[in-house]
Amino acid sequence: MSWWVYMIRCADDSLYAGVATDVERRFAEHAGGGPKAAKYLRGRGPLVLVYRCELGDRSAALKEEVRIKRLSKAEKEALVQDVEHRTSNPES
């Protein structure tokens, strides 16, 4: 089972980082605002999934999450932009 690190952009333009084995399911939980949603994200919608990166195991995913959370806002934005560029330009 692969683990993923993801980032969600909130309506206030803040970025939230998390880990999951199923990013789409976890995003739906956050977007639904139910009891399994992160408290930080409640009331900050609409939410947009802007980044995801597959890692081998839970330990690697958690380490990457911590690394991302320590980045400045500008560094997080650069990470998101780099992924968007690679996604929209697969030949680059």
pLDDT < 70 positions in the chain: 84-92
40: nearest Cα among 20, 61, 16: 16
How many structural domains are present in the chain? 1
Domain that holds residue 22: 3-88
Gap between the Cα atoms of 14 and 7, Å rounded:
10
Task: State pLDDT tens for residues 66-79.
Answer: 999 999 999 999 99
Which CATH number characterizes residue 30's domain? Answer: 3.40.1440.10
**What's residue 31's pLDDT?**
94
69: nearest Cα among 45, 3, 61, 88: 61
For 64, how many CA atoms within 13 A lie in the half-sphere containing its CB? 20
**What's residue 1's pLDDT?**
84
Gap between the Cα atoms of 64 and 6, Å rounded:
10
